[in-house]
């Protein structure tokens, strides 16, 4: 199931690009979303899926974690016959800053 999560997450990002849900029209920004951790526990036909994503802070709202959660829950129930599914998604927002070593840091007057 771990590999399934990784495939589903990759497919989710591709799907967003196909739908045109790209930040500022830039598909490369979606490549900065990383799946840092995933864990799946199944006991007595009950599954718990924990996921941690690293996402640029400008994309946190646009990512739609509820959408991911719903899709994963439905897939676990339909594809694997799991009776109860709990999906926990944690998002670690990051800032992407540019650095120019040639800039003086002093505004031009």
- pLDDT tens-digit series, residues 11-21: 666 665 555 55
Q: Which of 60, 63, 87, 65 is nearest to 74 (CA)?
A: 87
Predicted pLDDT of residue 40: 85
Beta 84-94 vs 34-43: how paired, if at all? unpaired
Tell me what pLDDT residue 76 has. 83
This prediction's pTM = 0.64
pLDDT of res. 109: 47
């Amino acid at each position: 199931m771990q590999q399934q999560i990784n495939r589903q997450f990759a497919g989710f990002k591709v799907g967003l690009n196909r739908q045109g849900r790209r930040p500022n029209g830039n598909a490369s920004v979606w490549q900065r979303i990383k799946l840092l951790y995933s864990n799946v526990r199944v006991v007595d036909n009950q599954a718990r899926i924990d996921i941690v994503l690293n996402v640029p802070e400008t994309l946190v709202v646009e990512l739609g974690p509820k959408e991911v959660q719903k899709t994963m829950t439905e897939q676990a129930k339909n594809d694997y016959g799991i009776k109860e599914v709990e999906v926990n998604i944690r998002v670690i927002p990051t800032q992407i800053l540019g650095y120019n070593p040639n800039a003086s840091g002093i505004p031009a007057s």
